[in-house]
Amino acid sequence: MKKLLSAKYSAGAVNAAMLIVRLALGILMMDHGYDKLIHFSEYSHQFINFLGMGKTLSLALVVFAEFFCSLFLILGLFTRLATIPLIITMCVVIFSINNGKVFMQHESPALYLTGFLVLLIIGPGRISVDSMIGK
């Protein structure tokens, strides 16, 4: 019981937690990106035209972020760089699509954003490709 109430932590516990966070966020977000990737032509007609870049380019950037950057997160490769497009995507969802709403039905993007910010700040942990190649 004392261990559960303790504020102490081990490096192994932090590394395991970072692996869990990376895998959970990466797998869950990758599902969103995969759907957009395989139905690209269907989504491109109805997608948001962010900053006047065009619907197709906006969708391509979201697919890159949600699918490919999520794959990098799962692997723990270029983790901090991979979180940047994901953070931007979640900010667009929160502020442009959901009009700044983060409660009730709109909480998922805020939760993803929080997790991606944690990964950006803390990094991938030792159980990652980044750690193996010495980044």
Does 58 fall in a domain? yes
Read off the DSSP letter of residue 101: -
Q: Please give the average per-residue pLDDT across 2-14, as a whole number.
A: 81
- For 45: left if phi > 0, alpha if psi spans -120 to 50, otherwise beta; the answer is alpha
pLDDT digits (tens, 9 = 90+) for 21-53: 999 999 999 999 999 999 999 998 899 888 788
CA-CA distance, 67 to 65, in Å (whole number)?
6
- Note whether residue 8 is domain-resident: no
Instruction: Yes or no: say if 99 and 105 are a contact pair by the CB < 8 Å rule.
Output: no
Domain hosting 87: range is: 14-132
* pLDDT value for 52: 85
For residue 59, is it within any domain?
Answer: yes
pLDDT band at 5 (very low <50, low <70, confident <90, very high): confident
Q: Is the pLDDT of residue 2 over 80?
A: no
Asked, for residue 123, whether it belongs to a domain, the answer is: yes
Q: What confidence score (pLDDT) does residue 135 get? A: 61
Is 1 part of a structural domain of the chain? no
Examine residue 112 and state whether it is found in any structural domain, yes or no: yes
CB-based contacts of 126, cutoff 8 Å, min separation 6: 11, 15
The model's pLDDT over 77-113, given as tens digits with 9 standing for 90+, comes to 999 999 999 999 999 999 988 888 888 888 999 999 9
**Domains in the chain, number:** 1
Q: Report CA dihedral (4, 119, 116, 33) to the nearest 10 degrees.
A: -110
Total-model pTM? 0.90
With respect to residue 25, please indicate whether it lies within any of the assigned structural domains.
Answer: yes
- Residue 5 belongs to a domain: no
